[in-house]
Structure 1
């Protein structure tokens, strides 16, 4: 591949990365625990956007159960956000001659 061709691909990659970042910021994923008693909503970038807690949990004397359910729901949503980011990254870099195992963004 010639140098100008590589530069054009790099510009395309940069444009795709910017679009992907915008899409991830607007996308949301949910994670839940306790059979749906706690739901956490994160942006594609991993920022917490919402938290829903079933009122029945407020009748419990054990706050630790609620805390554990929130952590579990958050972790599930974070995993989904990371998977979404990896998928978007694969789409953005499709067709580029990247070395195996190279991770973007740098």
Structure 2
């Protein structure tokens, strides 16, 4: 099972993986994901950490609390889904980098 794995290099490989993970986390934090609902009447922007960094609400919605709530929930959920998809992509990329453990160079 571990025939081709050089255990003497594992420490360096894990250290490299940790550095790469930290870099990817920093890059993700700087990304922004914006979701719109109600034809753009509500826009929610989140950073890669899933924190809401901006909300735009069309002034016409301020008179209609129920519609505003529905559109806000929709936008927040959509932006959150974008953040989660980005996290999954980053994890997949990280795992593909680690996939070379069994290879000899």
Q: Which runs of 4+ in 1 moved over 6 A?
A: none
Unaligned runs of at least 5 residues, structure 2: 101-105
Residue 70 of structure 1 deviates from its aligned partner by 0.5
For residues 53 and 45 of structure 2, what CA distance do their matches in structure 1 show? 5
Cα displacement string for residues 11-30 of structure 1 (whole angstroms, at most 9, x for unaligned residues): 11100110011011111101
Match of 1:38 among 42, 59, 64: 42
Q: Equivalent of 2:87, from 78, 85, 88?
A: 85
Q: Find the aligned partners of 1:94 and 1:78 in 2 and give their Cα distance.
A: 24
Report the CA distance between 1:4 and its aligned residue.
Answer: 2.0
Q: Does 1:48 align with 2:52?
A: yes
Q: Which structure 2 residues correspond to residues 1-106 of structure 1 after superposition, within 5 A?
A: 1-58=5-62, 60=63, 62-97=64-99
> How many pairs are equivalent?
96
For structure 1, the residue ranges without an aligned partner over 5 or more in a row are: 99-106
Q: How far apart, CA to CA, are the structure 2 residues paired with 1:37 and 1:28? A: 19
Structure 1 contact 13–93 (Cα < 8 Å) conserved:
no
Q: After superposing the two structures, state which structure 1 stretch, 41-50 or 85-94, moved more.
A: 85-94
**Structure with greater proportional helix content:** 2
